[in-house]
């Protein structure tokens, strides 16, 4: 999945081909996480076949349910697998400055995948 | 409806709901109150309305987020795991209140008697965990999810316990020969955020 429009319970997904930036931004507490995250996982798994040598991942969640965390972990693990094969990967994890739990989730994902994350503490709008 | 007298069932659920409401004091404010059948659209509405009320009340952002996370997990637990009656009806409730000590969340599931023992065993096992133990279990499930439970990851109860600093209690009441009412009481205490 290259693009998806944001909804109340699903994030916006966008791939910027000029900058090789894949961003997932918004709430993620949909009922069927597998249906949403499987195409994202497939996009990552097929990324090598595009011939691109860089992937910039920008992740900025607001509300995120536990099922989304599980599927997101599977996506990040796939990213780390292609990074091991030589793809240059940069991960930016943005979170509300007051939301320590989202920061901790980013740290967990970084630890599980062994990918270094850059953390951006942002003052989200009300 | 085979094996279920719906009126008796309804009265039992309403009695549980009324008991909680009757025990509220003058200092308790009801923030969110829903009774009936839940679905994802209703959850989105609940989150939107509750978030609006929390902003209006100038609640701290970290408490707002924590409360909304817990409500999401409670309602999705109802949607995914509550057993419908044989006529596909569902009668469960969510009640969120606030007082000087913090927030209280009451959520119920109707479950088949055949599932009660396994659920209680699972919850009792989780209740023995401290905060670090719950965090370890969460991470373990992220690393190696079991996808045999409808893709839900099985993290709901762990997340609720963890985000409430283990201020988590449950009761199981028999509604009929076939069904029980699984009732959660979760507290988010202001003192835990200082």
pLDDT tens digits, B17-27 = 999 999 999 99
For A46, other C-beta atoms within 10 Å of its C-beta total 10
Length of chain B: 194
In chain A, what residues touch B79 (CB-CB under 8 Å)?
Answer: 31
Query: Least CA distance to B148: which residue of chain A?
Result: A34
Dihedral Cα A44, A29, B89, B49, nearest 10 deg: -150
Q: What string of pLDDT tens digits covers the 126 residues of chain A?
A: 678 888 899 999 999 999 999 999 999 999 999 999 999 999 999 998 998 999 999 999 999 999 999 999 999 999 999 999 999 999 999 999 988 889 999 999 999 999 999 999 998 765
In chain B, what residues touch A107 (CB-CB under 8 Å)?
Answer: none
Q: How far is B18 from chain A (nearest CA, A)?
A: 29
Query: Least CA distance to B59: which residue of chain A?
Result: A126
Query: Least CA distance to B162: which residue of chain A?
Result: A101
pTM of the model: 0.92
| φ, ψ (nearest 5 deg) of residue B140 | -60, -40
ipTM of the modeled complex: 0.92
Over residues B85-115, the pLDDT tens digits come to 777 778 899 999 999 999 999 999 899 999 9
Among residues A6, A9, A63, A13, the alpha carbon closest in space to that of A38 is found at A13
Q: How far is B139 from chain A (nearest CA, A)?
A: 7
Sheet with A117-122: strands ordered across: A12-16, A21-28, A54-64, A88-96, A117-122
Over residues B114-155, the pLDDT tens digits come to 999 998 998 998 999 998 999 898 888 888 766 544 444 458
Nearest to A31 among B65, B76, B141 (CB): B76
């Amino acid at each position: 999945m290259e693009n998806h429009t944001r909804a109340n319970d699903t994030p916006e997904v966008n791939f910027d081909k000029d900058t090789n930036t894949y961003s997932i931004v918004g709430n993620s507490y949909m009922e069927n996480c597998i249906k949403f995250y499987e195409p994202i996982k497939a996009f990552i798994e097929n990324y090598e076949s595009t011939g691109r040598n860089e992937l910039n991942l920008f992740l900025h969640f607001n509300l995120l349910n536990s099922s989304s965390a599980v599927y997101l972990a599977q996506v990040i693990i796939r990213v780390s697998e292609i990074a091991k094969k030589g793809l240059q990967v940069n991960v930016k994890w943005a979170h509300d400055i007051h939301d320590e739990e989202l920061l901790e989730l980013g740290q967990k994902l970084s630890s599980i995948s062994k990918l270094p994350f850059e953390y951006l503490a942002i003052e989200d709008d009300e | 409806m085979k094996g279920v007298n719906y009126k008796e069932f309804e009265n039992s659920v309403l009695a549980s709901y009324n008991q909680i409401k009757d025990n509220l004091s003058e200092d308790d404010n009801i923030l969110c109150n829903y009774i009936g059948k839940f679905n994802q659209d209703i959850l989105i509405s609940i989150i939107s309305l509750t978030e609006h009320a929390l902003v209006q009340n100038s609640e701290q952002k970290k408490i707002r987020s924590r409360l909304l996370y817990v409500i999401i997990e409670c309602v999705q637990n109802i949607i995914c795991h509550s057993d419908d009656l044989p006529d596909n009806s569902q009668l469960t409730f969510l009640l969120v209140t606030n007082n000087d000590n913090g927030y209280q969340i009451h959520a119920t599931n109707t479950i088949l008697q055949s599932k009660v023992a396994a659920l209680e065993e699972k919850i009792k096992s989780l209740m023995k965990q401290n905060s670090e133990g719950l965090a370890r279990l969460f991470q373990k499930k992220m690393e190696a999810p079991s996808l045999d439970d409808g893709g839900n990851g099985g993290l709901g109860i762990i997340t609720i316990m963890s985000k409430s600093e283990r201020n988590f209690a449950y009761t199981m009441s028999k509604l009929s020969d076939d069904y029980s009412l699984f009732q959660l009481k979760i507290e988010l205490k202001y003192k835990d955020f200082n």
